[in-house]
Amino acid sequence: MNSFKTGVFVGVLSSVAVAAAAALSYHQTVIKPAEEAEEHHEEVSKQAIRRSVSAHQSRY
């Protein structure tokens, strides 16, 4: 009976570790690059708006 309890505990612990590792790897491979791409797009868009405004202003 003692070995059964130990086996269940180790199984649950390893399942939790695998789920945490899967969540971390998903975040690193899918979510983080998407957030970085969105931030880069916003930065480029802001720069384009500034350039457009400054190019179309009158000199006087």
1-46 confidence digits (pLDDT tens)? 789 999 999 999 999 999 999 999 999 999 999 999 999 999 999 9
Give backbone dihedrals phi and psi of 57, rounded to 5 degrees, phi first: -85, 150
CA distance 27 to 23: 6
Provide the domain limits for residue 39: 30-54
Residue 44 belongs to a domain: yes
pLDDT digits (tens, 9 = 90+) for 42-52: 999 999 888 88
Residue 46 belongs to a domain: yes
pTM, entire model: 0.64
Total structural domains within the chain? 1
Instruction: Provide CB contacts within 8 A for 6, sequence distance 6+.
Output: none
